[in-house]
Amino acid sequence: MGLYPRVRVQGGGRGVVSQAGAVLLVETVRKVGLDTAMSVAMKPWRKPRTVHDPGKVLLDVALGVALGGDCLADVAMLRAEPDVFGPVASDPTVSRLIDVLAAAGPNALTAIRTARAEVRSRVWESAGADGPAAGGSVIVDIDGVLVLAHSEKQDATATWKKTFGHHPLVAFVDHGPAGSGEPVAALLRPGNAGSNTASDHITTTGLALAQLPRHLRRGRQTLIRTDSAGGTHAFLDWLSKPGRWLSYSVGMTITDTIHQAVLKIPKKAWTPAYDAGATERPGAWIAEITDMPDLSTWPKGMRLVVRKERPHPGAQLRFTDLDGLRLTCFATNTKGGQLADLELRHRRRARCEDRIRAARATGLRNLPLHDTAQNEVWLEIVSLALDLLAWMPMLALTGKARRWEPRKLRLRLFSAAAQLVTTGRRHWLRFTTRWPWTDEITHAIGRLNSLPNPG
């Protein structure tokens, strides 16, 4: 007997499309004009009489990564369905293109990034009130991520966690509680790169700003948010430079100077901190100590805010903690606002960890190529895939579905199969009514179809 019905299996089926739900990503590419932008960007690397457009080759690999692939060869899942994805280049052609772009160095990376920035502005405009900058401001989170290497690769070294691999810096635009986030910078670094290297933070921030619409590349409406790795003089001086005037909220290491200042805070100066729902959090308090330590060498207008809270059961305290309470500190140049609101805004930087987890599940778990220049191109492909996984929900999904991470999107939407029917010289994908999320797919396609065509 057994618990499951027995079915017999054979090949030779026709008219069925696997991964048919990926048509959501294909339609997103078409509606936002990413295919045209990538084709134009890759034009310098297209040889005469070339069959495959280099821009489409890169997009095909990115689509494969968005669907769960983790190497160049996984583009085969698209090649198997030409009626949905069009003609797809062979594995040798894909590999040759990656080598050519790697040899071109910064020029190729700049071309890809320029195309992404152009399309990003268009996507945010189409998203309207659902866009990350709809309120006139935007938040960019910067953090490091360890990518393990299981073989000898260029620049793979021992990391600070006693592992072996690379230590990229990544930046994501925060979509807030209603959405996810999208990548705006990925700087590949050796595994032994420092966590608080100011020059790397400056480079990553510069790449991130170049991805934003032009009016958000300077000014207080753009907030740069990091953990204590960004709490350096050089980085904060760069953010505060006249003419740039960016807002920041960065973690600060609890030094002896800060610790001594905390000891002098009157009990009545501590105010309750907020939890994620913006209500008072029991066992957590905050206070401002801007006037206590000497901040003359730091940027003008910098404020220091400390937080003390009861650690969760089993947490190990540090020497800098106070009377059994965990101490943390951050700096900001935001002038107004309640301390609890500013501290909650900074603590929401933890959403960047969710973005990194999604990136690991979308090609960042492993850098599949050997040379650093090749893996830099791979990071751009991963960024393209993450862009699509952020833009499609922003434009097409509503409610809780907009917050679905890549794994859930693949399981519920992209993995759905459909019957391919040709009638009246048109191709139709018919999803089964038994699939629980067929309505989600068809409604999302309807919303994408309602968007104006690019150009």
On the 0-12 / 13-18 / 19+ scale of CB atoms within 10 A, 6 is exposed
Is pLDDT of 80 > 60? Answer: yes
Taking residues 266-287, report their average pLDDT. Answer: 86
Q: Worst-scoring range by mean pLDDT, 51-55, 129-133, 176-180, 309-313?
A: 309-313
- Condensed to tens digits (0 to 9), the pLDDT of residues 102-114 reads 999 999 999 999 9
Rounded-to-integer distance, Cα 276 and Cα 281, Å: 9
Rounded-to-integer distance, Cα 428 and Cα 152, Å: 47
Contact predicate 249/223, CB 8 Å: yes
Site of tokens 């990548």? 183
Beta strand extents in 159-311 (DSSP E only): 164-166, 169-174, 181-187, 222-226, 247-252, 271-274, 280-288, 303-309
- Condensed to tens digits (0 to 9), the pLDDT of residues 315-361 reads 666 655 666 778 889 999 999 888 989 999 999 998 999 999 999 99
Q: Worst-scoring range by mean pLDDT, 138-142, 234-238, 324-328?
A: 324-328
Tell me if the pTM is above 0.75.
Answer: yes
Q: What percent of the chain has pLDDT over 90?
A: 69
Taking residues 19-46, report their average pLDDT. Answer: 95
Instruction: Look at residue 2 in the predicted model and tell me its pLDDT.
Output: 82
Is pLDDT of 95 > 90? Answer: yes
Alpha helical stretches, state H, 276-415: 339-347, 351-359, 372-396, 406-409
Rounded-to-integer distance, Cα 143 and Cα 123, Å: 24
- Condensed to tens digits (0 to 9), the pLDDT of residues 358-408 reads 999 999 999 999 999 999 999 999 999 999 999 999 999 998 999 999 999
